[in-house]
Amino acid sequence: MSEAALADAPSACTEILACRGCGGGSLASVFDLGRMPLSDGFTAEAVRPDPTWPLEVVSCAECGLAQLRHTVAPEVLFAEDYPYFSSVSATVVENAARNVAEAVVRFRPPAGALAVELASNDGYLLRHAAAAGLSVLGIDPAPGPVRVAREAGIETVHAFFTEPLAQRLAAEGRRAALVFANNVLAHVADTRGFVRGIRHILAPDGTAIIEVPYLRDLIDHVEFDTIYHEHLCYFSLRALAALFAREGLALNDAQRIPIHGGSLRLFVQHAPAPSARLTALLAQERAEGLDRPAAFRGLADRVAQLRQDLRALLDRLKAEGARIGGYGAAAKGTILLNHFGIGRRDLIWVADRNQHKHGLFVPGVKLPIVPVERIAEDRPTHLLLLPWNHRAEIVRQQAAFVAAGGRFILPIPQPVLVES
């Protein structure tokens, strides 16, 4: 079925009537971005408008889980050519290497024990597990990254991770001492089935190490642009603890880490043994009400203020003769540009290192995506940094642009000009 036909199918977008985590029926609206294009929906179509879908966050009165009211079908979201390659970012690869190294020291899996990664992408993490002497198995639905992983010698199952797949692997005796799952739990439509799948493949004394963006950081740092159709859930620890317990697993420890604007690294096992660190983080959430709708109070106003401030900065710079480009055709960038109405009258293009995006257009605003070499060729005076979560790496990498007097505009949590 063509993408356009798929987008028109009634099943392309469905409204949930029950909480994704607990099945509760009381879902209160807490933040609404209206209709938005798919954040990774880059196309070669320069003119025809892109399909848009509702983007509304609701909060469950029972378990406190913040989540999207609508589900865009995975076959629409993760089209054949889903463009995300983890290894493009050194920050992501370094975080993965640290994650594996710390897990091997802390949990001491025997040599040759199995490490499985769910959403293993291009092998960015499992290559470090293999180097640590573990046997590895990746699972990922995106053909491009799977091809890259297999070429690197990482055994990879080309599929979405589901409970039936997990049961098949367990029946074959493939149970893991370590299960990694980075930035995937929020992406799956069957949240509970995914967690049950982890229970099936996790060895009795194994540990699942799961990274998710943390709702606390989203709200504290106005990271509204990380709300997009691929991210179906926005996790608090309380909602996560309830989700794992409901499916027969135990969230035993959690660590706040800085990646992607602030994330949680969760440690999940079969038997309950909550750490003091987890207990303290849960107590802090209860005290601050992160799992209640009131946590979102004021976010819409802060986003509106951010829009006003960023537009004013762009208008001032343009009035002063600035030529402004975008840097990084990020999923979050699609949301920021469309929600703030930043398009071709503001930016000349969006430069990006991911060659799979060159020649395509940012959905909605239709900004052309060009190779980063165009920075030296077209000599913009400023670059709006859309993947602000990779600021350090990107500013360092574009030292020549900064040395020539160029400045980055960092949009989140406040619009500022930066040079390092």
Contacts with ligand DWN by CB under 6 A lie at 84, 88-89, 183, 230, 260, 328-332, 352-354, 357, 387, 389-390, 393-394, 397
Comparison of 31 and 180: residue with beta carbon closer to Zn ion = 31
Q: Is the CB of 23 or the CB of 248 nearer to Zn ion?
A: 23
Minimum CB distance to ligand DWN, residue 270 (Å) = 27
Residue nearest ligand DWN by beta-carbon distance: 330
Angle between helices 331-340 and 299-319 (to 10 degrees): 80
- Closer Cβ to ligand DWN, 125 or 329, answer by number: 329
Name the residue nearer to ligand DWN (CB basis): 43 or 275. 43
Closest CB to ligand DWN among 113 and 188?
188
- Residues numbered 8-27 forming contacts with Zn ion, rule: CB under 5 A: 19, 21-22, 24
Q: How far apart are CA 5 and CA 15, in angstroms?
A: 19
Task: Measure the CA–CA gap between 415 and 303, rounded to whole angstroms.
Answer: 12
Q: How far is the CB of 261 from ligand DWN (least distance, A)?
A: 9
Nearest to 324 by CA among 359, 368, 358, 375: 375
Residue type, 223: E
Q: What is the largest CA-CA distance in the chain?
A: 66
Which is nearer to Zn ion, 187 or 307 (by Cβ)? 187
Residue 244 contacts which entry, Zn ion, ligand DWN, none (Cβ below 5-8 A, type-dependent): none
Q: How many residues bind Zn ion (CB under 5 A)?
A: 8
Say how many CA atoms lie within 13 Å of 96 toward its Cβ.
28
Find the binder of Zn ion among 7, 65, 132, 330 (CB under 5 A): 65
401 binds, among Zn ion, ligand DWN, none (CB under 5 to 8 A by kind): none
What's the closest the beta carbon of residue 356 comes to ligand DWN, in angstroms?
A: 8
**CA–CA distance, 362 with 353 (Å, rounded to integer):** 14
Q: Please choose which of ligand DWN, Zn ion, none residue 381 contacts, taking the beta carbon within 5 to 8 angstroms, the exact cut-off set by kind.
A: none
Q: Would you say 148 or 329 has its CB closer to ligand DWN?
A: 329
Q: How far is CA 25 from the centre of its chain?
A: 26
Q: Closest approach of Cβ 357 to ligand DWN, in Å?
A: 6
- The partner in contact with residue 331, picked from ligand DWN, Zn ion, none with C-beta cut-offs of 5 to 8 angstroms by kind, is ligand DWN
Residue 30 vs 335, nearer CB to ligand DWN: 335
Of 84 and 340, the one with the shorter C-beta distance to ligand DWN is 84
Q: Which structure tokens are listed for 330?
A: 């990020």
Decide: is 32 part of the binding site for Zn ion (CB under 5 A).
no
Phi and psi for 78 in degrees, rounded to 5? -100, 70
Q: Give CA–CA dist 357/353, Å, rounded.
A: 8
CB of residue 237 vs Zn ion: minimum separation in angstroms? 14
Using CB under 5 A, which of 3, 62, 75, 155 touches Zn ion? Answer: 62
| Least distance (Å) between residue 377 CB and ligand DWN | 16
Select from 7, 63, 115, 134 the one that contacts Zn ion (CB under 5 A): 63
Output the smallest distance, CB 318 to Zn ion, in A.
46
Select the binding partner of residue 260 from ligand DWN, Zn ion, none (C-beta < 5 to 8 A, by kind): ligand DWN
Q: Measured from the CB of residue 65, what is the shortest distance to Zn ion in angstroms?
A: 5
From Zn ion, ligand DWN, none, interface partner of 232 (C-beta below 5 to 8 A by class) = none
- Asked if 282 contacts 251 with a C-beta cutoff of 8 angstroms, the reply is no
Q: Of the two residues 320 and 373, which places its CB atom closer to ligand DWN in the complex?
A: 373
Residues 285-304 that bind Zn ion (CB under 5 A): none
Could you list the residues that contact Zn ion (CB under 5 A)? 19, 21-22, 24, 60, 62-63, 65
